[in-house]
Chains A and B, each alone.
Chain A
Amino acid sequence: MEPSSIELVVQNGWMGARMLPLVRSALLLVIGLPLVHITASMTGRLARARMTEQAGILIRKGVYYFGTALIVVMILQNLGFRLTAILGAAGIIGVAIGFASQTSLSNIISGLFLIWERPFEAGEMIKVGDTLGFVLSIDLLSVKLRTPDNRFVRMPNETLIKSQVINISRFPIRRMDIDIGIAYKEDAGRVMEILTEIADQNPYSLDEPRPLIIFKDFGTSALELMLGVWFAKQDFLNLKNSIMKDIQARFNAEGIEIAFPHLTVYSGSETPPFPVRVTQDPSEQPPAPGSGS
């Protein structure tokens, strides 16, 4: 085969034959890596548009790592390295590293299980322990989260496999449970009707499934009710703010007392409670007679 024009220049010029593989390798690096990056991005974007965000991330990373490995192998071959020997050495080193880094291996395997089982996907909101956040990506060793107040959280995959994970945004609708305590003097039946009306009039509260109202308990300081309203998951804040204001406004209009924790002191079962009345700032009181001051 006739040598290419680049090879002729190299062989006949000042560089010589030894530089040819280096030039080829440099070209592979300079052209190949950006090409791999572009291909990975385009493939990931296509996958994200047709499938899910998580699939897009996985495919983009898969194409990127595979393409990079291919380029590295081609460069090594070009430079004359024997790949069988390298792979053999890498295998032995890999086993040694594996024993030394069992946690990393565990995270990698846990990550594979997370991807396979799909308890959550990129873009969904999860809660693990006290940490609440949006899933940014599920990576080889860890899951990256962004909290609602914009903090970055790295959570090892092993932790997620071993812990209870709550996926808040998996289903399209959710129920918001609001605990309400009313004074003992109030008519619980009437209050429950009012809560139904409040829920029905709120545009973010779904009419179906019907709002749930439960008379939970005779509490220490209040009659304990619970109002459970269903909403589309994207309306959480709209519903939370509007329905709390609606409840307060309507209770004020109806004269319904929202109970607060309080304690009534009796001297005995037959007597009324002690009345307590503060009439003066104690620091302004004159000293008691005979106190010596």
Chain B
Amino acid sequence: MTLTQQNISAWDPVEIADGACLHGQIGPFKLWIQRSEDEWQTAIERAPQDDSLVMMKTEAKPDGATWTRWAAADDSRTLALKPLTPDRAVVARPDSPLLFPPGSDLLFFISIPIWLRLLTGQDMDSALFTEPTVILSNSWFGTPTDGTLCYSLRTTARRNRRTIRKRPHMAVCPIHIKNQAPEAVEFQRLCIHAPHLNLYQDKDRLWTSQVDVTYQGNSKTSRTHYGDAPPPASPKARLISEAREPLPKGRIQKSIDDLKSFIRM
């Protein structure tokens, strides 16, 4: 099943009747929603290793679920799920180290789990919750005395987009690396500021904007650029979610850590 099925997208608004229970599933993230006169009720479960996609449909109330009550902002019975990028930077580590020869100019792909925001209200401006589809482990980018709290992500770092599994809860992030240093660089980990990425959707998967990294050697700062358009790998993908934090123009960021512990020759 794809994210769009018969012109219905998983992100389209849905109406819910009073007393009805809707169920939807995006990968391992399962959601049940009820609407009563003046409140919403939600229940969430996560099923690891599950890549299913279930569009919102009426279903019986599940037994044993833990429900959360939300005061309704108005009388509207419309809701929608909105996908978002993670709320923190993500440190991607390949399953096995990958070396980039000097002068190389390569594109590879990693998959980042999305966050889901449940929107309600007549203008779809009342957010009930924002939850990750997958709970990522914490990680730290920096030294023990100074740095940034991130999420940790293991990746296969694929070169061929056709070999990437289609999973409704994962967004494919194209990373374009240029090695302008005279030596080979070993990619051990890469810090991607996910809140700076836009989210796009084509007919069967989610994409983020492309990240361009230029490595100029150990003694110089790596240059990182976060795209603001659909990635070249899927130029017709439509924008479904803007970056959580727009990147100030002209800012240079270190994403491949120029401290020697992160990139080794």
Contacts and interface: CB of A to CB of B under 8 A. Distances in A.
Contacts of B91: 207-208
Nearest to B145: A171
**A interface, size bucket:** 10 to 19
Contacts of A205: 137-138
Do most interface residues of chain A lie in helix, strand or loop, or is the interface mixed?
loop
B144 A209 contact: yes
A244 interface: no
A205 B147 CA distance: 16
Given A172-B149, A208-B152, A230 B140 contact: yes
A269 to B, nearest CB: 50
Interface string A195-211: 00000111111111100
A205 B152 CA distance: 11
Contact of A209 (B93, B136, B140): B140
Given A172-B149, A232-B149, A208 B144 contact: no
Nearest to A170: B145
A200 B137 contact: yes
A64 interface: no
Given A203-B137, A208-B141, A235-B138, 4 more contacts: A173-B140, A206-B138, A207-B93, A232-B140
B140 A208 contact: yes
A204 B138 CA distance: 6
A202 B189 CA distance: 20
A209 to B, nearest CB: 7
Contacts of A173: 140, 144, 147
Nearest to A235: B138
Contacts of B139: 206-208
Q: Chain B: interface secondary structure?
A: strand
Contacts, number: 45
A172 to B, nearest CB: 7
Interface string B128-144: 00000001111111001
Sort chain B's interface into a size bin: 10 to 19
Interface in A177-210: 200-209
Contacts of B140: 172-173, 206, 208-209, 230, 232
Contacts of A120: none
18 contacts: A172-B140, A172-B145, A172-B146, A173-B144, A200-B137, A201-B137, A203-B135, A203-B137, A205-B137, A206-B140, A207-B91, A207-B93, A207-B138, A207-B152, A209-B144, A232-B138, A232-B140, A232-B149
A209 B146 CA distance: 12
A231 interface: yes
Interface in A213-239: 230-232, 235
Interface in A228-257: 230-232, 235
Contacts of A209: 140, 144
B138 A172 contact: no
